[in-house]
Amino acid sequence: DAGITQSPRYKITETGRQVTLMCHQTWSHSYMFWYRQDLGHGLRLIYYSAAADITDKGEVPDGYVVSRSKTENFPLTLESATRSQTSVYFCASSEHGSGANVLTFGAGSRLTVL
Amino acid sequence: QKEVEQDPGPLSVPEGAIVSLNCTYSNSAFQYFMWYRQYSRKGPELLMYTYSSGNKEDGRFTAQVDKSSKYISLFIRDSQPSDSATYLCAMKQSGNTPLVFGKGTRLSVIA
């Protein structure tokens, strides 16, 4: 299927566990992004990537790790999950980073850390 | 002060009303201004974007940018229940810089 897909859509885990959220896009977009969305904070950028093997921190990177070995995949790992990381996580992609930089979002991954 | 301020609402209007959604910003380097719409339990989707100042119209939707006041607006004419969603403003500088989002305004259009 064409588009951007996230998995899992829902995940419940415990404090201290490692969790990986997957993101896959079929457009060969250069740029990919991870956001978290929380009540009262809106969308906050965690990490982004301009190309394979190039990643940069966003506004709230602490506690998260990303990698991008292939253009189409951009997994987000919580190495030791904390309750404050309970959130809805959105992956997005865009063809360019400059100019209008229109983002296309996935459907989101809802993570609960107990 | 956050770079982008947006009243979270909620905003409730009757069907057919004109809706005005607004954002203010502090960074005068912002050049690209966008509105995303997000339905419940879905990802945001681009509604409109504008480069620099001016107006842009698309059907029932009009986006306005006033760079001198650092103020952007989205107007929805003849609002419909299907317009019920959260509307997020977003903006960025030119170059390889990330989008900065407002917190979003939740809109309900009541039939």
Min distance A57 CA to chain B CA atoms (Å): 11
Q: Are A40 and A93 in contact (CB under 8 A)?
A: no
pLDDT of residue B98: 85
- Closest CA in chain A for residue B94: A99
pLDDT tens across the length of chain A (114 residues): 569 999 999 999 999 999 999 999 999 899 999 999 998 888 999 999 999 999 999 999 999 999 999 999 999 999 999 999 999 999 999 987 777 778 999 999 999 999
> Which among B30, B39, B96, B97 is the top mutation candidate for probing chain A, defined by the most A β-carbons within 10 Å of its own β-carbon?
B96
pLDDT tens across the length of chain B (111 residues): 678 999 888 999 999 999 999 999 999 999 999 999 999 999 999 999 898 888 999 999 999 999 999 999 999 999 999 999 999 999 999 888 889 999 999 999 999
pLDDT of residue A47: 96
Cβ contact (<8 Å) for A43 and B44? yes
In angstroms, the Cα distances linking A55 to A47, A66, A67, A74, A98 are: 7, 8, 7, 10, 16
Cβ contact (<8 Å) for A33 and B98? yes
- A108 at B interface, C-beta within 8 A: yes
Strand-pair partners of B89: B35
Cβ contact (<8 Å) for A90 and B32? no
pLDDT of residue A66: 97
- Report how far residue B9's alpha carbon sits from residue B107's, in angstroms, rounded to the nearest whole number: 7
Strand-pair partners of A64: A78
Residue pairs spanning A and B at CB distance below 8 A:
57
- A34 at B interface, C-beta within 8 A: no
Beta carbons within 8 Å of B68's beta carbon, 6+ residues apart: B53
Min distance B80 CA to chain A CA atoms (Å): 24
Cβ contact (<8 Å) for B94 and A100? no
> Which among B99, B100, B106 is the top mutation candidate for probing chain A, defined by the most A β-carbons within 10 Å of its own β-carbon?
B99
pLDDT of residue A2: 66
Q: Are B87 and B21 in contact (CB under 8 A)?
A: yes
pLDDT of residue B1: 61
